[in-house]
Amino acid sequence: MAELPTHVDVLVAGLGPGGCAAALAARAAGLVTLGIEPRGRAATRSQLILVRPAARAALGQIGLPDVTEGRRTTTIQQVESRLREAAIAAATEGNGPLQLGWQHRLVALDMQADHVLASVLDEASGQVQPVRARHLIDATGGRLEALGRPARVRRGPSHHVITAQYAMPPWFEGIVGLRDPARHEFYLLFPTWGRRGVIAYLDSPPGRPVDTAALLQRFETLAAALGLGEPSQPVIAVDVYQRGLPRASRDRVVPIGDAVGTVDALMGAGLSMSIEDAVDAARGIAAAQALGAAVREQAVIDKLNAAIHARHRAGMRGGRLLLLTRPVLERAWPKAQPGAVTRASVGPPPLLWPTIRFVFGRRPQQPPNPLA
């Protein structure tokens, strides 16, 4: 069993993009930090996301100003890989207060007035170790609800989507797609990082009953018609309905990212919000712990949790508004009849990039080349 510290300032549960950003920010603030993750080190999620300017600014604050290398769009896998590499490097330097435990997960929580007592399971050995943390950052995406943490509640209609990544190099520029006017579904293709493959995304109408098996069959039929080959990452079929905590946390746990609330996939903002939450959480905890007295600490943590909760409520309102505009977004893509799809069927909508620039800001400036 890996030797974990028994007393820490901050325990970060979950080392996805938000958890890694929180661990790096806590370390930078001088907090003794332990990060744990039940999965291995490899990042596998291929969903496309948009990195908001506020998230880029937050990454810059922890020494990662160009995770996206000047691109506005990227994948969760790419950002998670970069953040995990940075966290692993920071933990192995040996001169900073950060330790990571891969294939470790929380199995019990005991909330005390001045600390959280966590029971951490080593998945490999089956042994459980207690860890006493002054504060816990919950970056598990809601998995701690099984341990008695407050449950998120539904905030929007069902919205079924399917996505997968393929090794086929893209034959197109930018983002292309098509729509099925009878079913009101649209199918999008994105080039992966470095144009080494393709990400496919199928979006079904929100709020309608869905036959998931039939939706998967249509997804696979489209991929075959376009010659994408076999997926290089697992096909993901999920209902991305919005859900959120009914109220902000008021104890020594600071939930971030999806543990607070999910925004609809069409927003593409879930990862950005988790990174913004993470840096705010670590800095807020550092400020609280500097006060010393438990009552004064908790007042700062309550204010921090309220601010993060408000961010997610605003994001979910934006997600609901975006779903209302989905019929307009759908009609922007070229029509195609099922059974007659070819590579010539897919194309871009004319107003795609002006709309992205309007909503998410212009592409960040490339840093100057010091060798130029």
Greater pLDDT, 187 or 295: 187
**Position 43 in a domain:** yes
Residue 295 to residues 188, 268, 291, 307, Cα–Cα distance (Å): 51, 38, 9, 19
Q: How many Å apart are CA 306 and CA 313, to the nearest integer?
A: 10
Q: What is the pLDDT of residues 261-311, one digit of tens each?
A: 998 777 678 888 999 999 999 999 999 999 988 889 999 999 999 999 999
Q: Where are the alpha helices (DSSP H) in the chain?
A: 17-28, 53-61, 76-92, 212-225, 270-289, 294-324, 326-331, 352-360
Shared domain for 186 and 207, answered yes or no, is yes
Mean pLDDT of the chain: 88
**Position 365 in a domain:** no
Count of alpha carbons within 13 angstroms of residue 129, beta-carbon side: 17
Please tell me the predicted confidence (pLDDT) of residue 372.
Answer: 41
Q: What is the pLDDT of residues 25-55, one digit of tens each?
A: 999 999 999 999 998 877 666 666 778 888 8
Shared domain for 201 and 116, answered yes or no, is no
Shared domain for 217 and 263, answered yes or no, is no
Shared domain for 205 and 307, answered yes or no, is no
Beta-carbon contacts of 123 under 8 Å, excluding residues fewer than 6 positions away, are 38, 103, 104, 105
Tokens of 342: 């070819």
Shared domain for 235 and 248, answered yes or no, is no
Q: Which residues on neighbouring strands pair with residue 254, listed in sequence order?
A: 137
- Least confident window among 80-89, 129-138, 178-187: 80-89
Q: Which residue has the tokens 């958890």?
A: 19
Q: What is the pLDDT of residues 251-261, one digit of tens each?
A: 999 999 999 99
Beta-carbon contacts of 224 under 8 Å, excluding residues fewer than 6 positions away, are none
Q: What is the pLDDT of residues 303-356, one digit of tens each?
A: 999 999 999 999 999 888 888 999 988 998 999 987 899 999 999 886 665 665
Please tell me the predicted confidence (pLDDT) of residue 339.
Answer: 84
Please tell me the predicted confidence (pLDDT) of residue 362.
Answer: 54
Shared domain for 116 and 51, answered yes or no, is yes
Q: How many Å apart are CA 132 and CA 7, to the nearest integer?
A: 5
Shared domain for 65 and 194, answered yes or no, is no
Shared domain for 253 and 181, answered yes or no, is no
User: Is 368 a residue whose pLDDT tops 80?
Assistant: no
**Position 221 in a domain:** yes
Shared domain for 105 and 126, answered yes or no, is yes
**Position 1 in a domain:** no
Shared domain for 271 and 225, answered yes or no, is no
* Number of structural domains found in the chain: 2
**Position 209 in a domain:** yes
Please report which confidence band the pLDDT of residue 144 belongs to, taking 50, 70 and 90 as the band edges.
Answer: very high
Asked if 40 contacts 74 with a C-beta cutoff of 8 angstroms, the reply is no
Asked if 356 contacts 52 with a C-beta cutoff of 8 angstroms, the reply is no
**Position 370 in a domain:** no
Q: How many Å apart are CA 270 and CA 51, to the nearest integer?
A: 9
Greater pLDDT, 161 or 50: 161
Beta-carbon contacts of 43 under 8 Å, excluding residues fewer than 6 positions away, are 76, 77, 78, 80, 81, 84
Q: What is the CATH number of the domain that holds 88?
A: 3.50.50.60
Please tell me the predicted confidence (pLDDT) of residue 75.
Answer: 73
Q: Which residue has the tokens 């905590």?
A: 245
Count how many residues are written for the chain: 372
Angle at which helix 17-28 crosses helix 270-289, to 10 degrees, equals: 30
Please tell me the predicted confidence (pLDDT) of residue 48.
Answer: 67
Shared domain for 12 and 110, answered yes or no, is yes
Please tell me the predicted confidence (pLDDT) of residue 71.
Answer: 62
**Position 367 in a domain:** no
CA 223 to chain centre: 25
Give long-range contacts, CB 8 A cutoff, 24+ apart: 87-94: 87/15, 87/20, 87/23, 87/24, 87/35, 88/41, 90/23, 90/24, 90/27, 91/35
Asked if 274 contacts 16 with a C-beta cutoff of 8 angstroms, the reply is yes
Q: Where are the alpha helices (DSSP H) in 121-269?
A: 212-225
* Owning domain of residue 64: 7-153+243-320
* Rounded-to-10 torsion of CA 315, 316, 321, 327: 110
Beta-carbon contacts of 331 under 8 Å, excluding residues fewer than 6 positions away, are 179
Asked if 272 contacts 73 with a C-beta cutoff of 8 angstroms, the reply is no
Of all residues in the chain, what percent carry a pLDDT higher than 90?
64
**Position 372 in a domain:** no
Please report which confidence band the pLDDT of residue 233 belongs to, taking 50, 70 and 90 as the band edges.
Answer: confident
* Predicted model pTM: 0.87
Q: What is the CATH number of the domain that holds 220?
A: 3.30.9
Tokens of 25: 């920010």
Shared domain for 45 and 149, answered yes or no, is yes
Q: What is the pLDDT of residues 126-135, one digit of tens each?
A: 999 999 999 9
